Amino acid sequence: MTPLWHLTWRSIANRRMTVALTALAVALAVAMLLGVERLRHDARAGFAQTISGTDLVVGARSGPVQLLLYSVFHIGDATNNVSWDSIRQIAEHPQVEWLVPISLGDTHRGFRVVGTTPEFFARYRYGRDRALVFSDGRPFDDVFDAVVGAEVAARFGYRAGDAIVVSHGAGDVSFADHDDKPFRIVGILARTGTPVDRSVLVGLEAIEAIHLDWRGGARMPGVTIPAEQVQRFDLTPKEVTAALVGLSSRVAVFRVQRFVNSFPDEPLLAILPGATLQQLWGLIGIAEKALLAVSALVVLVGLAGLIAVVVASLGERRRELAILRAMGASPLQVFALLAMESLMISLIGCLAGLSMVQGLAWLVGPWLEAHHGLLLSAGLPTAGEWRLLGGVVFAAFLASLVPGLRAYRYSLADGMTIRI
């Protein structure tokens, strides 16, 4: 008798249109499952690399997650600021190679204004140790120069040379504008997929300059200092919100962290951004698990469709199965034939789904990383993806038993009987 696998393949080829549609449904379900798993894995890696190359983040004493949220993600507000004298003492520590201060508190049309130094553009890293790149212009070097992130520029159609006005406070709508001291955009950053895209970056001196004639969140009555006269004043910042710190040696990270946490002049907190990012992901990671569960349900629906198609075809194949029985095939061999067909269709669907994910990663991955900062790797399947594929194949094997058992119960007489 012809080998069983050969009969299986010939049977599939004879019903190639139905099999192709069924395998396509399984492939799409598997592609969705693997795609979500890869996005989940890469998004987690990208989230953990929102800021890279920074050894410590220093701010006023609060919770580690809270400090990370307002200093890196610009979400929420600091409980307190850090005095400039403390920032200078930390910068002078022997193990500190560089320090970039950050000052928050103002906005521009709902986007955060970040006061910092030009060194920010050289030191800030994200993703796989990627540096900030200017799509247009240059870093700021004058008091009222501003650099805008890609999303800010795209939202309002800004170009280098445009004038913008900063508003006081962190709300989306502000009626307290620093319209007497407008800024000029000198640079636009390329998209990074990080909070930098949604930021307006200015110098620390600019933050001091626009608040020279302000006290307590409002203009001082009867006091007006024109923009052209701000250079006459001392624009050294008195305090900042936080600071990004890079060390000369990673070995000293806990020593410097302990130095900051036990700072005698004021209560400060130093956190390791990578470890705190993992802690934050643990709080918001429930969404990824829910999405993965939905994808698993889609795969189950696809396998259910596979069972339905094979079982529905049994009525049309009664005579074929009866002929096999007449030629000497045992009920167990008929069972194995149907089970092998279902398993082979599911394997074809799994391979096609994996190919879809790989193809999309190759084609769309660079675009996603360039425009949205979302990493989508196109390498070999990870251990988690292999486990998911193994689970799909095992579920397909269990599903293949249903049509096999149904065919096993068909008798030779049943197959030869003509039903009207």
Q: Do the beta carbons of residue 68 and residue 51 sit within 8 Å?
A: no
- CB-neighbour burial class of residue 198 (10 A; exposed 0-12, middle 13-18, buried 19+): middle
Report the pLDDT value the prediction gives residue 417, as an integer from 0 to 100: 53
Report the pLDDT value the prediction gives residue 1, as an integer from 0 to 100: 45
Q: Which residues contact 188 (CB under 8 A, 6 or more apart)?
A: 134, 135, 136, 137, 147, 148, 149, 150, 153, 158, 159, 160
Q: Which of 275, 287, 396, 280 is nearest to 39 (CA)?
A: 287
Q: What is the pLDDT of residues 193-219, one digit of tens each?
A: 788 999 999 999 999 999 888 776 667
- CB-neighbour burial class of residue 111 (10 A; exposed 0-12, middle 13-18, buried 19+): buried
For residue 84, the SS3 value is helix
Low-confidence ranges of the chain (pLDDT < 50): 1, 412-413, 415-416
C-alpha–C-alpha distance, residues 4 and 287, integer Å: 45
Q: Do the beta carbons of residue 417 and residue 321 sit within 8 Å?
A: no
Q: Which of 314, 380, 296 is nearest to 38 (CA)?
A: 380
C-alpha–C-alpha distance, residues 314 and 414, integer Å: 12
Please count the residues of the chain: 420
Task: Provide DSSP, 248-306.
Answer: S-GGGHHHHHHHHHT-SSS-EEEE-HHHHHHHHHHHHTHHHHHHHHHHHHHHHHHHHHH
Report the pLDDT value the prediction gives residue 94, as an integer from 0 to 100: 94
C-alpha–C-alpha distance, residues 244 and 240, integer Å: 12
- CB-neighbour burial class of residue 264 (10 A; exposed 0-12, middle 13-18, buried 19+): exposed
Both structure tokens of 141: 């070097």
Report the pLDDT value the prediction gives residue 48, as an integer from 0 to 100: 67
For residue 145, the SS3 value is strand
**What is the CB neighbour count within 10 angstroms for residue 64?**
18
Q: Do the beta carbons of residue 54 and residue 246 sit within 8 Å?
A: yes
C-alpha–C-alpha distance, residues 42 and 376, integer Å: 6
Distances (CA, A) of 44 to 11, 127, 141, 278: 44, 11, 36, 9
β-strand 130-131 against 163-164: which pairing, if any?
A: unpaired
Q: Do the beta carbons of residue 11 and residue 154 sit within 8 Å?
A: no
